[in-house]
Amino acid sequence: MSTNPNTSGNPTPEPAPVRLIEKHKVIYAKRVRGLFDNWRVGMVFLTQAIFYGGLWLEWNDRQALLFHLVERKFYIFGLVFWPQDVIYLAILLIVSAYGLFLVTAIAGRLFCGYACPQTVYTQCFMWIENWVEGDRNARLKLDKGPNNARKIRIKLTKHFLWIALSLWTGFTLAGYFSPVKELAHNLITWNLGGWETFWIFFYAGFTYLMAGYMREQVCKHMCPYARFQSVMFDPDTLIISYDEARGETRGVRKKGVDPKAAGLGDCVDCGQCVVVCPTGIDIRKGLQYECIGCAACIDVCDQVMDKVGLPRGLVRYSTENAMAQKLDKQDILSHIIRPRILLYTAILILITGLAAWFLAHRIPLKVDIIRDRSTLAREADDGQIENVYSLQIMNTEEQPHRYVVTVDGLEGAKIDGATEVEVPAATLQSFMTVVRVPPDAGKKGANQIHFEIKAQENPDIRVREKASFMLP
């Protein structure tokens, strides 16, 4: 180390260089059981039961949840959506965003700790890891030990199970975009298509990488949610808090020594809250953006408090105001209703209500009208003027309909030919038609007419679309 002399003649060490890139340190999180761990386990099973089991549900002799990319049809139980219904996707995203804002404003990063896919799959991979390699101390000892046959066998077993779960996850995801029964048959017969194979292995590899290796790095460096959570937090947001006034000064309790007389707080400085943290932070340093709100530190701290005979809650869910003002649970709950929460709730109710209303009054019929531009207008033998149209009639219901087509807008306008068309369930069908009008029915050039398409058996299912009629 180079030195520089100071005025006293003693060498002064140069400041340590600032490192912008730090080598990743593997976190060996210890498994802890408790109330909040039970909640996490329950959420893992609930979310994965929905994900892995949802695609096997049936509705009207088809897959209940299917976003069929080839047919460009999205089936959600009794509803069938088409690309033209993208507005409902936008509404769903808006509702999800405001729902997340509302939950975050009330309870912090509760979604991250209990329901985020990154957290859920990391938890699943860690369970496999604990089952195969053992708990934290066993894993540390195994990784530091030599590469013998036992270590290789254990590592291969772990990675085999990780890969198996990843492939199952990739297959399941692909099954939501391609009929799962066909996908399973093609898999068994080794007849998977190129894109199906790609997406199964792509998402499997993605799951294996994110949950197996990157883990907390995703939460720390890739997830944008951690970056803008501070915008949604306020002093009344429920967060994981360390009771500094009660816990400090930290120190080990010795037999025969009064902790109070020694100036010690309730924190015994055991470090278990750090050992169990999946992101490797010390919650005693205050709330950090790396905290995902999983409450593992609460479970382990409560257990330590039980062992040393001290009250639980040294680390607990609380708010900044509650910690500063010593508020009880009732006061914390009373602070939930505040302007920000009311605003988020009002917007969420409004958007959800409008979406529900539009969905309930959604007409299961869509029509596109295209005029034949190769022949602007033609004169029939009887002197009337004809225009040719192509009607793209989309039946979005899962039952066939016979539609009656009529036209108006110009005096004497009528359809020459068939006026009825049968469209099977959830099908798009083209219907060619010729409209005839007297030559003096309108002005020269483009004239506006209207097509009305109405279901024969249900008059409420009707669409009225405008088109242009060319007169020479």
User: Are residue 388 and residue 294 in the same domain, yes or no?
Assistant: no
Going from the C-alpha of 472 to that of each of 380, 404, 449, the distances in angstroms are 13, 29, 16
Tens digits of per-residue pLDDT, 440-452? 888 888 899 999 9
Helices (H), 29-116: 35-54, 86-107, 110-114
User: Are residue 378 and residue 464 in the same domain, yes or no?
Assistant: yes
Please tell me the total count of domains within the chain. 2
- Give the whole-number percent of the chain exceeding pLDDT 70: 95
- Is pLDDT above 90 for 124? yes
Q: Please indicate, yes or no, if residue 48 is contained in any of the structural domains.
A: no
Name the helix (H) or strand (E) containing 75: strand 73-76
Can you read off the two tokens belonging to residue 225?
A: 């949610």
User: Are residue 370 and residue 323 in the same domain, yes or no?
Assistant: no
Tens digits of per-residue pLDDT, 219-259? 888 888 777 776 788 888 999 999 999 998 998 888 878 88
- Give the whole-number percent of the chain exceeding pLDDT 90: 46
Q: Please indicate, yes or no, if residue 292 is contained in any of the structural domains.
A: yes
Q: Is 443 exposed, middle or buried (0-12, 13-18, 19+ CB in 10 A)?
A: exposed
**What is the C-alpha to C-alpha distance for residues 46 and 123, in angstroms, rounded to an integer?**
13
**What is the C-alpha to C-alpha distance for residues 326 and 229, in angstroms, rounded to an integer?**
25
Span 276-285, average pLDDT: 92
- Nearest 10 degrees: CA dihedral of 147, 148, 151, 157? 110
Q: Please indicate, yes or no, if residue 391 is contained in any of the structural domains.
A: yes
Q: Please indicate, yes or no, if residue 264 is contained in any of the structural domains.
A: yes
Tally of CB atoms within 10 A around 145 = 10
User: Are residue 246 and residue 293 in the same domain, yes or no?
Assistant: yes
Q: Please indicate, yes or no, if residue 186 is contained in any of the structural domains.
A: no
Q: Is 161 exposed, middle or buried (0-12, 13-18, 19+ CB in 10 A)?
A: middle
Q: What share of the chain is helix, strand, coil (3-state, %, to 5)?
A: 45, 20, 35
**pTM of this prediction?**
0.82
User: Are residue 296 and residue 373 in the same domain, yes or no?
Assistant: no
Q: Please indicate, yes or no, if residue 431 is contained in any of the structural domains.
A: yes
**What is the C-alpha to C-alpha distance for residues 400 and 420, in angstroms, rounded to an integer?**
13
Under a CB-based contact definition with an 8 Å cutoff, are residues 420 and 405 in contact? yes
Tens digits of per-residue pLDDT, 155-208? 999 999 999 999 999 999 999 999 999 999 999 998 888 889 999 999 999 999
Under a CB-based contact definition with an 8 Å cutoff, are residues 311 and 325 in contact? no
User: Are residue 323 and residue 372 in the same domain, yes or no?
Assistant: no
What CATH number does the domain containing 413 carry? 2.60.40.10
Under a CB-based contact definition with an 8 Å cutoff, are residues 90 and 203 in contact? no
Going from the C-alpha of 412 to that of each of 26, 330, 382, 415, 471, the distances in angstroms are 81, 75, 14, 10, 14
Which of the 8 DSSP states describes residue 283? G
- Structural domain boundaries enclosing 405: 365-471
Model confidence at 3, pLDDT cuts 50, 70, 90, reads very low
Tens digits of per-residue pLDDT, 374-418? 777 888 888 899 999 999 999 988 889 999 999 998 888 999 888
DSSP 188-232: HTT---HHHHHHHHHHHHHHHHIIIIITHHIIIII-SHHHHHHHH
User: Are residue 369 and residue 466 in the same domain, yes or no?
Assistant: yes
Can you read off the two tokens belonging to residue 257?
A: 């020594």
- Is pLDDT above 60 for 328? yes
Model confidence at 5, pLDDT cuts 50, 70, 90, reads very low
Q: What is the pLDDT of residue 22?
A: 56
